[in-house]
Each structure stands twice: as C-alpha cells, then as structure tokens.
Structure 1
Amino acid sequence: MEAFLIFEDGEVFPGRWIGSPKESPGEVVFTTGMTGYQEVMTDPSYSGQIVTFTYPLIGNYGKVPGESESKFPSCAGIVVNEWCKDSDHLGKWLDAWNIPAIAGVDTRAVVRKVRETGPIRGVISTHPRIQLEKWPDPLSLQWVNRVSVQKPVSYPSLGPNPFHVVLIDFGVKTSIINTLLQRGCRVTVVPWFTEPDELEQLAPDGLLFSNGPGDPKAFQPYLNRWASLVTQIPTMGICLGHQLLALILGADTERLAFGHRGSNHPVRETETERVWITSQNHGYTVCPSSLDHLAWKVTHLHVNDGSVEGMAHRQYPIFSVQFHPEAHPGPADSMPLFDRFIEMMKEKKQVMVHG
C-alpha cells in the first residue's frame, strides 16, 4: 500500500507501508550508522522525530533480544530505502507500538534535503498532502515526559562498597544504567521533575544528567533547581544532560544545521590531540562563545564542524560530553569516562572523610 513522507514545505517522497497505515508528524532527521537499527529505534532521544536511515538495507538481522535501549520505541516514525523481507517480526513489533514505518523511499534525496534546508518537519501519511491542524511544539516537554520514569527506580549494586549515583532521567538509554552497574555503582533513576530536596534526601555520591529528546531550552524554568546541587555533588552529563549543565551554569545552546546522528563521529580530545570515534544523537550544541573559559575547559571538539563535544568545570566537580560514552568511544587505552566519574566521587568522599 502506498505511503508518503511529506515535508512541511510540501515536497513529497513516496514509499510503501511497513505494517498498518497511520499518520505521524515530527522533525525529520537522519542517522548514518551501518548497524544498530534496533538501538536507534528504541533510543528515547529520538522521541518525536521521524528517523531516516541512510544505510540502504534495514532489518537484515531482525529484532535481537537484549539490544533495545528502552522498553519501547518512541520515535515518531521510521523511513528506510529497503526493508529486509525476513524482518516481519520487527515490522509487527513497530506496528504494535503504533510506530509508522515506510520503505522504498529515496533516502539519499531525503538526507540531501535535510542537509540543505536544516531542521525541518514532516508527516508520514497515506495522503500526499499535509492535513495537520497543528505541528508538534519543539519546546514542549511532552517528549521527555513520555520517556522519563514517573517514579524512582532503584538498581542494587553488583559489588561491595558502592557509590550511589542518582540518575536524573530525561530519557536515559539502558546501556548507561548497565555501565554504571558494571562498575559497582548503586543507581537510583528519578524523574526529571524530582524536587531538589528529594534528590538531597537520596544522599547521592554523584549525579548523572542523562540523554533525552527535545530542545534544552524547554527546561529553562527548571534550571535553578539544579544549580546548588551540581556545584556540590560530583556530576556527569551526557548529550541533553551536557547541554543542560551548560545552561545551568550560565552558558548558552544553539541548534545545529542538521544534527549529529550516527556511530562514527570523529571527536578530538583536546588534552591529548587523539581522535575518538563516537556514537552521537543530538540536534543542539553548546555555543563556544558563551562558555566562560576561566570557568570551563573544553575537553572535546567535533573534528568536522568544531562544535563542543565535551567540557569540564575548573572549580566544581562537573564534566559532560555530547557523545555517548557507554558506546565505548576513543582509543583502547584512553581512560573511560565513567571511570573518571567514579574517580570524582571517590575524591569527594575522601575529602568528606578526612576533611
């Protein structure tokens, strides 16, 4: 059955349905990864977005148990060029979660359009004309509310004498939680709207601001609630969490021309000049000119466009990265970023014990 991807400017890309027809609007984005389509489909950071896969064949290894990054796919839709005929189970899974997916689309042309026009919205539909009354609001918190936990979830430590990490959930990937657990941490995942006094009552050794969907400036009314905590408690930020930490401490964010989404983005570590190959998924970035370089040290830069990919505060126990550290970026001999986070918590605890 015929399906259509219609951009907000009226340009139409025809395709065919995978599963049953259903209309869905969202920002049209593309990802360049050659593998990991299941992880992409279940990455909460794609909430509200129509994801176009640049790799031509999707679904060739079906759906694999244990490889999802959340309990359900939360993207607004999937667009592919060729859908593997043996991926019926994967298609039914998307259909069961009400995610529209279409194949047979000229994805090269879609990517060229997104790259040339910048952020642009579209609709997957059975009709080649837009019939929406209203586009989704990019500054709405509905995307994060959909993927954040609604009450605290505790994960016990796998080792003795654990550090307690309170993870503020804006749409965290399961791999991030697993990485902390593998390092012996006890993890409490809390809703993003948790009050500061509730966070303090949990007695965290460290705070982690997770990845998630949407514009970081949607959280501007809530930034002050975190300021006093991050200046006292060792804090790590990832993706959206990286952007929020910048906003909390007075820097600014801006939108990228077409975002970084894929598994092979080169990032230069400024201290060593080594290039890390990273997995990324974001449409916003920290403005370099807004960073007070007496307060912040830029630790990582994107090789292709020079955007800020990592930063560390010179006074407070805070660092953050724009890429996904749980995806094992960088040279094999580099210090894993989660280990750096644990070292920060250890140093803080030693100061508290010995004064």
Structure 2
Amino acid sequence: MKRYLLLSDGTVFEGKPLGASGTTVGEVVFNTGMTGYQEILTDPSYAGQIVLLTYPLIGNYGINEDDFESDRIQPTGLVVREACDVPSNWRATKSIHQLLLERGTVSIQGLDTRLITKRIRSAGVTMGAICDDLDAGKEALAAAQGYDETDFVYGVSTNAPYKWGREGREGMGETDEAGRVRLAVLDCGLKFNILRRFYKSGCRPIIFPATTSAEEILSWKPDGILLSPGPGDPRRLGPVVETVKGLLGKRPMFGICLGNQLLCHAIGGETYKLKFGHRGSNHPVKDLLTGKVTITSQNHGYAVDPVSLEGTGAEVTQLNLNDGTVEGIRIKDLDANSIQYHPEAAPGPWDSRPYFSEFVERMRAVRS
C-alpha cells in the first residue's frame, strides 16, 4: 500500500503507511535531533505541523508514556525514513506505529528525508498533506487554513487552572508544601518537563489557561511568573500580550521560547518568521553577559527582531551562533528575562538547566 506526502507547490513524495490511515494537513518542518521522538510527538509547540525527523531510524527504543510532554499527540503528522517495528527497551510498552495508530495520527515512512530537508532549507517551510489518496490530499491542502493564519495556543492551553506536585497534576484545592515558592505559569503550550524541573528546584507551580487575566493570576499571590512555550505566530496573541503587560514589574518574570516572544511584544518589540526555524538539540548559543557558549534544545519558527527592542528598556543577552538570531533578552528595571530555547531539554543537553534554580533564587530574594 502506498502513502504520499504532498507539498503545497505540487511536489509529491511516495512512501509507505505509518500510523492511522486517512488524510492530514499541516506546516511541514524538520527536527534534527537524534533522539526524543516521544517528547517531540507530545510537544504542544508542534500543533498544526507535520514533523519530519532527519535521523534515519525512529522508534528503536519504543514508546512509554512516562516521557510524554503533554496528554496527547500534538503534530498533525509525522514523516520518517524508517520506523522501527520491533523496539528494544525495558521501558517500552508499544511501537511508534502502534502509538500513532491508537491516537489516529496519519504518518508516513520510507521517504528520502534528507532530500526533503534540503528542499525546506532552500525554499522555506511549506504547507503539506499526508494522504492515501492524492485527490483527497490535494482537496484537503487547498481547503486548509495557512499555519500563520491560525491561533493554536488556545487549543493547546489548559482549560482550567491546576497545581503541579510530587505526583504531577493536582487540583487547585491542594495545599502547598512548606518552603516552596509559588510560580504562576501562563500556559500557552506547556511541556510537563518544565513543571518537573521547577518542582525539583523548590517551586509550587500553579498553571493558568492562556485566557486568564493578570488580575486573576496575581490574586493567587505568586512569587514569580513563567511565560511558557507554545505554537504559532506570537503576533496573533494580542490578548495574551495584554496579560503579560499587566504582570510585568509585579513579580519576577521568566519566559521560555514563545514566552520570550510574548515578553518582546509586551514591551513594544516585534517578531518575524524564520525561513525554516530552529528545531533540534544541537544549537549553540552565546551568553553576551558571561561569554559562555551552551548547546541548546530548540523548537520555534519565529524570532525576536533586535532592532525593534531599541528604546524599550530591553537588552539582548544571548545570540544564536549559527545565524545570529536573538536567543535571550532582559529588562532589568522590571526584573524580567527570557530565553528562546528550552532549558528543560526534553530531549536535549542539560547545559541550560541552571536557569531553573537561578529563577527560583530570584523569586526567593523578592519574597524575603
């Protein structure tokens, strides 16, 4: 049986079925990580996208739900060179094909992923469809709304506030543990491992939907504010930006990925779309304040315009050494800073994990 990847420019790649049958549409992006397919498949920042993994063999250590970053598959589809049918790992409970089939995710294998990646790098990200029938794929692609025209954050954010504890998600009525600082998290597409890292660093995370007002968040008397990662174009998130404005200067603030872009917009800056984005676990970033270079895990398609920050009170603190894009900013007068990459590194290197404990110490200093 054949399956196809159809790009919006009419290019067709023929492969073999993986996961569920049918048709799916999304923005086609690539990730260069060698491991971490479980975390990638459950990362809310991939909502609305078909993810192509450049590593040639995917699924060799199987699937276990302990490593999931959310409660569902987030990309609309997956493209791989070869999917492993017989995984080998003591934690594995199923194969990647079984997971995709159970969750109804239409995917494809057997393609020249190197060729497709080179095409995206040259032409830029594009809309595409995975389908069993080319006519159905063409119809779906023609009818689909463009990635940049869709608000994905409201679809991946939590529907109701909750707390995060030792065993994971808890109700808002659960009592706080003594000695823990309260971290209010604005959920625009949160990964569970961010909450795990902050909890281990001494926080009591309280997670709020992206639609929550600044007044409601502050009514919980948090010691700090986290702006989470998430999918889509930050320029479409005007109401969320207004919430960030209402929180700025009230508590120490830290932004991750989309949170970096939201902080930029809240102070009057601008963002723009990258040609093919940063998605992988090997991006070098230089801290301009310390001179230190770290290897980072990244997943984003938009970047902060440094020129737009002039006169806003913000300074650029970190740069990507591959292309010079902004990787971090800070506003000293408002006790706010943000980074464009993922310090929780799920998957990826642990170089940036000190940011969790550093932010906790900032919150404790203000609290005392």
After TM superposition, the score normalised by the length of structure 1 is: 0.93
Equivalent residue for 2:245, pick from 200, 210, 227? 227
Code of the residue aligned with 1:234 in structure 2: it is: P
Equivalent residue for 1:306, pick from 324, 327, 352? 324
* Worse overlay, 16-25 or 234-243: 16-25
Equivalent residue for 1:161, pick from 170, 179, 192? 179
Contact 1:28 1:121 (8 Å CA) reproduced: yes
Contact 1:48 1:76 (8 Å CA) reproduced: yes
Q: Write the distance in 1 (CA, Å) between the matches of 2:254 and 2:55.
A: 32
Tell me by how many angstroms 1:221 deviates: 4.1
Q: Please name the residue that 2:345 is paired with.
A: 327
Q: Write the distance in 2 (CA, Å) between the matches of 1:214 and 1:173.
A: 15
Matched, 1:272 2:290: yes
Q: Write the distance in 2 (CA, Å) between the matches of 1:175 and 1:233.
A: 23
Q: Write the distance in 1 (CA, Å) between the matches of 2:55 and 2:41.
A: 14
Contact 2:15 2:110 (8 Å CA) reproduced: yes
Code of the residue aligned with 2:189 in structure 1: it is: G
Q: Please name the residue that 2:139 is paired with.
A: 131
* Worse overlay, 220-229 or 102-111: 220-229
Q: Write the distance in 2 (CA, Å) between the matches of 1:335 and 1:51.
A: 26
Q: Please name the residue that 1:14 is paired with.
A: 14
Contact 2:21 2:132 (8 Å CA) reproduced: yes
Q: Please name the residue that 1:353 is paired with.
A: none
Tell me by how many angstroms 1:137 deviates: 3.8
Corresponding residue SS for 2:154:
helix
Q: Please name the residue that 1:90 is paired with.
A: 96
Matched, 1:111 2:117: yes
* Worse overlay, 44-53 or 125-134: 125-134
Q: Write the distance in 2 (CA, Å) between the matches of 1:185 and 1:140.
A: 36
Q: Describe the superposition over 1:166-199 as per-residue Cα deviations: whole angstroms up to 9, x where unpaired.
A: 1010110010000111012111111000122211
Contact 2:83 2:109 (8 Å CA) reproduced: yes
Query: For the aligned residues, what is the CA RMSD?
Result: 2.0
Q: Write the distance in 1 (CA, Å) between the matches of 2:150 and 2:158.
A: 14
Q: Write the distance in 2 (CA, Å) between the matches of 1:123 and 1:141.
A: 17
Change over 3 Å in CA distance of 1:29–1:225 after alignment to 2: same
Code of the residue aligned with 1:16 in structure 2: it is: K
Equivalent residue for 1:199, pick from 202, 217, 223? 217
Code of the residue aligned with 2:274 in structure 1: it is: L
Matched, 1:101 2:110: no
Corresponding residue SS for 1:324:
coil
Code of the residue aligned with 1:93 in structure 2: it is: L
Equivalent residue for 2:152, pick from 129, 143, 164? 143
**Following superposition of structure 1 onto structure 2, how do residues 231-246 of structure 1 map, counting pairs within 5 Å?**
231-246=249-264
Q: Write the distance in 2 (CA, Å) between the matches of 1:275 and 1:131.
A: 47
Q: Describe the superposition over 1:268-288 as per-residue Cα deviations: whole angstroms up to 9, x where unpaired.
A: 111222210000000000001
Tell me by how many angstroms 1:294 deviates: 6.8
**Following superposition of structure 1 onto structure 2, how do residues 175-194 of structure 1 map, counting pairs within 5 Å?**
175-194=193-212
Which blocks of at least 5 consecutive residues in structure 2 are unaligned?
88-93, 167-175
Change over 3 Å in CA distance of 1:267–1:330 after alignment to 2: farther
Corresponding residue SS for 2:147:
coil
Alignment size in residue pairs: 349
Which blocks of at least 5 consecutive residues in structure 1 are unaligned?
351-355
Tell me by how many angstroms 1:226 deviates: 2.4
